[in-house]
Amino acid sequence: MLDIQLRKMLDQMQAAGVPGLSDLPPALAREAYSQIARAGDVAPQGATIETRSFDGPGGPLALRIYRPQGDEAPHGLVLFIHGGGFVLGSPSDYDGVCSSLCRQSGCVLVQVDYRLAPEHPFPAAVDDVYAALCWAAEHAAEFGQGLPLIVACESAGGNLAAVVALLARDREGPKIAQQTLIYPAVAPLPEMFESYRRNGSGYTLTTRDTWYFSDFYLGHPEPAAIDFRAAPLLAENHADLPPALILVAGYDPLRDEGMAYADKLNEAGTLASLVDYPGLAHGFISMSGVLDAARLAVAQVAAAWADVTR
């Protein structure tokens, strides 16, 4: 059954005439996405926020760094990769959830403002996020000695986190202690799983939206031309990867592929813990301002990071 608070939120959005993201050109969709993300989340608190930059593969890339307030030293370093279908989103859209995760886990979080499609299609985002992972590993001592490194994400960011975990294994670094994949987009193309048809309209993410994002990020490739850097479910080998925490939602088109990725990891001997939020929909990790269940999910992720890093 759909969460009652989520049902109320969806009804309010419909009554207000909030447009579908795929009905807008990217520039306007980005504005709408930011407004929606910030409206549903809690206000940032309990963390200091710093902006920096580094030289990325295509030019300077901005970083947004969240440090726990207080005297206790940080326990871990998390590269958090925002969602938005590779087309939308910015680090500041996630100030609320990142501050909450930072405060509750005792970890420093780093977000990178990776390049977005259609201006910068695949593999620009992959290259930027891997470069940010290397930056985080190289600068970890600035935040605390010997901090374990975690990659975490939601949606398209889940794709990127899974991909850079594979790349880090194949390139022999940086070492990652854990990967947190929150309703990750890991399949080659939309509609490969039944959940796209079951949950493809009426909720926070539609099947039409997923095609909109895919077309901008990948263009119109033949399935055989898609490699694992676009779809980590296609990787030939899922062994020897960091243990994974994977969260899925019952009313999400991406539900089945997240579950399939957990199965792939476990079959290959990589420990993957799957957590199902059956009453929630895509994007719930940033809805703590309106959903009690979202606050529980944030607390669960933070507790998992604390277990890894302490």
Active site residue: 75, 82, 238, 282, which one?
Answer: 282
In Å, the largest CA–CA distance within the chain is 54
CA 67 centroid distance within chain:
19
Is residue 282 part of the annotated active site? The answer reads yes
Cα–Cα dist 23/111, whole Å: 28
**What's 18's DSSP letter?**
P
* Per-residue buried b or exposed e for 160-179, using 16+ beta carbons within 10 Å of the residue's own CB: bbbbbbbbbbeeeebebbbb
Cα–Cα dist 181/261, whole Å: 10
Cα–Cα dist 266/4, whole Å: 33
Q: Provide the angle, in degrees to the nearest 10, between the axes of the packed helices 292-309 and 95-105.
A: 50
Active site residue: 92, 105, 155, 288, which one?
Answer: 155
3-state helix vs strand vs coil in the chain, percent to 5: 45, 20, 35
Q: How many CB atoms lie within 10 A of CB 280?
A: 27
Is residue 155 part of the annotated active site? The answer reads yes
Active site residue: 128, 252, 256, 286, which one?
Answer: 252
Is residue 238 part of the annotated active site? The answer reads no
Which sign, positive or negative, has the C-alpha torsion 65, 71, 72, 73? positive
**CB contact set of 19 (below 8 Å; sequence gap of 6+):** 32
The dihedral formed by the CA atoms of 88, 90, 96 and 97, expressed in degrees to the nearest 10: 70
Q: Which residues are catalytic?
A: 155, 252, 282
